[in-house]
Amino acid sequence: MSLKTFLPGGTSPAGQPVTLGVMGGGQLGRMFVQAAQAMGYTTAVLDPDPASPAGLISHHHIKTPYADEAGLAQLAQRCDAITTEFENVPAPALQTLAAQRTVAPSAACVAVAQDRVKEKAHFVDCAALSGVSPAPHAVITTDASLAAVPADLLPGILKTARMGYDGKGQARVNTREELAAAWDAMDKVPCVLEKMLKLRAECSVIVARGADGATVSFPVQKNTHHDGILALTEVFEGALDPALAQRAQASTVAIANHLHYVGVLCVEYFVVENAQGALDLVVNEMAPRPHNSGHYTQNACDISQFEAQVRALAGLPLPTPRQHSPAIMVNLLGDLWFKPNAVRTQRSERPTSPPWAQVLALPGTNLHLYGKLSARPGRKMGHLNITAPSVAQVRETTANVLTLLGLPALEA
């Protein structure tokens, strides 16, 4: 991609305000729009949902499907540069836009993240540079490849090559019979079988890379998942072994560089126990966009992941982000609007707001709701960023928050 700079508050060659566009109108698009508007940009969103969180607050909302030719033409006409807020935007649509406008990340990069087969191959290529490999795995596309799966990959996790997220499109399998049944239940679509490893922790790294190749990294994030969905993220000194954290950052930079990536990229890792009983890293998957685990940057860093996304797209400088406070991010799912908590003793049949007044009375609590019009179990409704001067204080406040919301306690 050629290096172009779109200054905030400036005008395009046509004399219009510089406009940044985003494919997708969910919460990540909403926070990108908020960051862009705070810097003085006009924004446009393409999303078919008339009530999409990003569309509701953007200057322009194009309400068409992602592959609609008229909608794409309108987005290209309005915008100087365009990004995406989720990896399942059709890559060909991004390619169409790129023929007329700056698009970051590129369609080719998004296509790799959309397909676990391509993604694993990319990680294998990068392992020679970073020393961090994916889990042992096999690609299953035919009955013959199913029969050829090595025995030592079981027990394993079967994952669809495309469209899987938040634990969806996955099945744990222990035997060849279970593997065959699971693949059949997935309609025999292309899949990847990953060997089940001794998982000790999960972490992620967010980097931002400009068109000039300049790359900066945010701190490594330690993540806790419940039922395949991120529950909370802890980011402070000592949350993860420093040597592993350094390797994770170096690996993520290598993955971004090898793709000639432009934009914000998140790569997730497993911390596993190897055959010798020592801790090691395994690269799991990547997201070509800001990530749930990076939301803490809004309140704990001098540059958020969304400002970094704006800067990379607009060709602005990318200074190294600085974290100024220990932080914990708590994911807020729609279940909270129904379940018992410190104020409500019984489950509610109708959605009722959690006890935000009590939560926000605690020092260092920052509530971010996504503007979704209805709560339902499993739906991401918002997040809480908790910061404090010390690790002990941020953990204490978080423990109180979790108690108030009726959520599982922090792990020791």
Q: pLDDT tens, 87-138?
A: 889 999 999 999 999 999 999 999 999 999 999 999 999 998 888 999 999 9
Q: How do residues 50-63 score in pLDDT, each as one tens digit?
A: 999 999 999 999 99
For residue 175, give its domain range. 136-195
pTM here is 0.95
Q: What is the torsional sign of CA 97, 99, 104, 110?
A: positive
- For residues 183 and 203, membership in a common domain is answered with no
Q: Own/partner pairs for 361-365, CB < 8 Å, 24+ apart?
A: 362/386, 362/397, 362/400, 362/401, 363/388, 363/397, 364/325, 364/388, 364/393, 364/394, 364/397, 365/397, 365/401
Q: What is the CATH number of the domain that holds 147?
A: 3.30.1490.20
Q: What angle do CA 8, 9, 15 make, to 5 degrees?
A: 115
Q: d(Cα 236, Cα 394) in Å, to the nearest integer?
A: 10
Q: What is the CATH number of the domain that holds 31?
A: 3.40.50.20
**Total domains present in the chain:** 3
- For residues 221 and 369, membership in a common domain is answered with yes
- For residues 150 and 288, membership in a common domain is answered with no
Query: Which residue's structure tokens are 């803490």?
Result: 296
Q: How do residues 255-286 score in pLDDT, each as one tens digit?
A: 999 999 999 999 999 999 887 888 999 999 99
Q: Indicate whether 128 belongs to any domain.
A: no
Q: Are 231 and 281 in contact (CB under 8 A)?
A: no
Q: Are 133 and 272 in contact (CB under 8 A)?
A: no
Q: Are 50 and 63 in contact (CB under 8 A)?
A: yes
- For residues 204 and 286, membership in a common domain is answered with yes
Residue 369 has φ and ψ, to the nearest 5°, of: -100, 150
Q: What is the CATH number of the domain that holds 209?
A: 3.30.470.20
- For residues 290 and 368, membership in a common domain is answered with yes
State residue 221's pLDDT score: 98
- For residues 189 and 210, membership in a common domain is answered with no
- For residues 175 and 205, membership in a common domain is answered with no
- For residues 371 and 249, membership in a common domain is answered with yes
